[in-house]
Structure formats: C-alpha cells, structure tokens
Structure 1
C-alpha cells in the first residue's frame, strides 16, 4: 500500500523537477548576457581601478588604493561630486515631487480634452534629442542675444542679466535647469498613469468625509502611488549621478571646471589626461553611489509597505 501510493508521488515530483529544469534553461541565455555585458565590466572596472596604466601602453602597474587617494585629494573630483549631488536633489524635487503635484492636478481639476492636450505639451520636450536641447539652451543663455536676458530686459530687470554659462557660479545651475525642463514631462506622464490607477471610491469617500483636495492628496494620492514614486526616485538619483551629455554639450565642464560632474571628469581623466586607472576609480565611485542610493530606497520602500 505504501509503495503503491509513494510511486505516483515520486513520479509527479520527478516531472515537476524536470519541468523546473526545463524552464530554467530558458533563463540561462539571458543570465549569460547580463553576466557578460553588465557584471563582468563592473568587476573588471573595479580591478583596473587598482592599477596605473595608459591607453597607449600594455604596461600596467599595481598601485592598490592610490587612485582613490588621488580622488580624495583632487578638488575637481569633489566639485564634480557636489554638482552631482545638487543635480540629484533638484531632480528629485522637480521630477518627482513637482511632477506628482502636476499629475494629481491634471487628473483632479481639468476636463478630459484639456487634460489630454496638456499631457502632450508636457511630454514634447522628452522627445527632443539631448544634443538639440543643449544647443537650444545655449542660445537661450547667450548674454547678448539670448531670450533669458532678453526677457529680463523686457520686464525691467536688466540688473539681473548674466552670462549664465560663462560664470562659474551659475554654469551648473543653467545645465540643471535645462535637464529639468526636458525630463519633467516624462516623469509627469508616468505619475499620471499611477494616479489613474488609484480607485475613485477612495476620493469619493474622502470628499464625503469633508477632506479637501490638499488633504486628499497627502492621505490618498501620495500613499497609493508610493511604488511609482519610489521607482522614480531611484531612477532620478541614478541618472543624476550618471549625467554626461547635458554637461558636455552645454559647457564641457567649464568654466574653470565649475560645471564638471563625475561623468565628464571621468571622460577628461581617461581621454584627455590619459590616466585610465584614475578614471576607473571615478567610475567605481559612481557605481557605488548609485548602487547604495538604489538599495537604500528599496529598503525604505519595503519597510513602509510592511507597516
């Protein structure tokens, strides 16, 4: 009796194991590609950051943590890191915080036709090439013929005219402003989709209980779109520390390295200074920062969801 009942169970278990093995084989090619093109370059970059070498010579010299000590003593590295931090803070405030407010307003306050038109208008900048956008804003920031100074003159604020990209104090902020203009509509559209998925019954119940729009936003909209906002925070912070094209097109890291970010300083160290080991160390720092930011945000989101 026991042998009779055990045989079908053993057979079913064997079939289930074979099925799992078969399914796993479909995943192997994807895992192999990820390992080859993602994880191997990361590990290799960390290894190369421990060496001094040139792109034009096969000779490498092991220096341990010397490249990281060089970064710690490099004022341009710290300037670039601070610029990335400023980029991340402003991007989170505008591309996540302000975009969420706008997405909720589009769904709550406007009619269907006007809502669709505004979505299209907000999304258009995201469809424009970064190079084109950078060149466009270069013209806008021109000290003599640019529209920014022209607008200040038109409203009687000529004293505020400025060489926005030529001044070390404002160059990076001009680049950050351009980036917010281009990316704001894209994050707004993603958050609009998240807001649309919130059950309308929750808003109706809140209105019946006498809750105003502001309170409804903070007690219903914000908690219900937590997953999307968490994802956008991770993506926004990561992109802020990986930014490259915007700075290269508009300022090239100048004037006087005031608008350098880690990506442009890495490029300059590798291909202008031919210090490939130092550039690898900068790349490792960028990886560690973005990895830590993503991990902390995921841990925070899961703790909130578990409450």
Structure 2
C-alpha cells in the first residue's frame, strides 16, 4: 500500500469509526437483542422469534401505527398544504409580508418541549385558554377535556404540530417560489391572469418537487414523533394517542423488556424502510412520466 493510500485511509478512519459506533453497532445489537428475553441487568435468555410473535399479537402496538397514519395525513394538510398557501400569500408582494413570514416561522424556533407545555395550558379543561375563550363568547357547550377525551386528543396534538411546522414548510416553498423567473409572472399578468391563477397554474406546478419532498418529510418525521406526544398525553387517554416511539419507551424503560422493545424497534425500522423504498419508486415513476 502506497503512502498516499495509507494517508487516505487514515483521514477516512475517524468518520468510519464514528459512523460504525453510533449507527451500525446499535443497529446490529438491537437486532441481536430482539431474539432474547432480557431486562437489561440479569441473564439473557434466548427465545428465538417469540418476541416477534408477541409483537404481531400486541393490539396496542399495531394501533399505534394507525395513530401515526392519522397523524401523518393530518400533518400533510396542516403543515404542507397550509405552508404552501402561506407561501403563496406572502409572495404576492403585499405590504407586511416580511413581518408575517417572521411570525409564521417563529414557532419552528421554539423547543418542542416548550411548545408542548404551552399548548397543554391552552387545552387545559379547568383554566385553559381555549375553553376560556369558548365560554367568553357564549359557546360553553363546546368546551371539552381536549387532551383527556379519546375522541379529541389525537386531533389536538395534530393541530399543535401544524401550528409549529406550517411555517417551516412555508419557508421551503417560499424559497422555491422566489427562484421562479419574474418574466413568467409578467407574461401572466399581461394575459390578464389573477393572483389565484398564477398561484395554481404557475407557482404550484413549478415547485412540485419541493411539495413532494415536503410530503415525504411529513411521512418520515411522523414515525420519529415523540416529544410532542410524550409531554402532552404520554399515549393517553386509554392509548388513544399511543404511537410507536412512546410505546417503545414504555416497553423498554417502564417494563424493562429490552428484548421485546428491540423486536418492536426492528419491525418499525423495516416498516419505515419499505415506505421509503415505495416512495422513492413512486417518485422515480412520476419523474419518468414527466419526461
């Protein structure tokens, strides 16, 4: 091996070792632990595929996927669609658009823990802001135990997520719209196009790639959601807001079932990988149809 080759390997080695230690080793160990019954301290008992068989019979675990699906669908509308509409509004050249852009993006900069506690106060059934406003305007019959009612808890969390991340997607779409040549707008105005026509016929089609990316981000980050659910409801009431990540924490840290929790994590990883592969295949198919 030449000195240049050795130097190259030496430069690459720290990054490879860091990647192996933080990514590859945990993945391999999680997969290995999934075949054992282990509480993290005592002896490890090999149980084969029993943990996986138990997972497929776990009603709470599989219902958590339905909650994630509802959350993803809701966030696509509340984050991507609302963010797209906001980007369209602030690119119309109206006065004060910069102020609105800052205001809409501000929630993204807040730590999610802080956001969760703020909205827990807003949703509080006794002295919360939402119930107080409803009572003040004569709609006391609409007051509810928002986070304590299984019928409203998940929707309440979805609204908070939309409030936070709509500004994030607005910024992405805004940057894409700003790259559209001004000549396109001028030609449309000369043809008598309205702002709505320009938004639907010019802006949206020309940033379709960014919209597709935003939807994909919603899908992938939906599976990574944790802090918002953990702080606001911790999976309650009656597991109506339980998602995979919060359930994993309970299984591993509350029940001290490392092996079973590892099996659940492996299944979740496979589900995310399959969704990613399917989404990538569909995106490539759409791109090929365009050309």
TM-score in terms of structure 2 length: 0.89
Aligned-residue Cα RMSD (Å) equals 2.4
CA deviation string 1:1-38 (max 9, x = no partner): xxxxxxxxxxxxxxxxx999987875554344333322
In structure 1, the residue matched to 2:70 is: 86
Q: Which runs of 5+ in 1 are unaligned?
A: 1-17
Where does residue 33 of structure 1 map in the other structure? Answer: 18
Is residue 36–residue 44 contact of structure 2 (8 Å, CA) maintained in 1?
Answer: no
Q: In 1, Cα distance between the equivalents of 2:156 and 2:60?
A: 19
Change in Cα spacing, 1:37 to 1:71, as seen in structure 2 (3 Å) is: same
* Bigger Cα displacement from structure 2, 49-58 vs 296-305: 296-305
Aligned with residue 143 of structure 2, among 155, 161, 184: 161
| CA distance in structure 1 between the partners assigned to 2:282 and 2:47 by the alignment | 39
Q: Does residue 1:172 correspond to 2:157, yes or no?
A: no
CA contact (8 A) 1:85 1:241 kept: no
* CA separation of 1:99 and 1:157: change in aligned 2, threshold 3 A: same
Gaps of 5+ in 2: none
Name the structure 2 match of 1:252. 234
Q: Which runs of 4+ in 1 moved over 6 A?
A: 18-25
CA contact (8 A) 1:52 1:63 kept: no
Larger Rg: 1
**In structure 2, what is the equivalent of residue 136 of structure 1?**
118
State which drifts further: 230-239 or 207-216.
207-216
Residue 194 in 1 paired to residue 176 in 2? yes
TM-score scaled by structure 1? 0.84
Structure 1 residue 271: Cα displacement:
1.0
How many residue pairs get matched? Answer: 287
With 66-75 and 129-138 compared, the bigger mean Cα shift is at: 66-75
Is structure 2 residue 70 aligned with structure 1 residue 67?
no
The answer for the alignment partner of 2:90 in structure 1 is 106
Offset at 1:116? 1.0
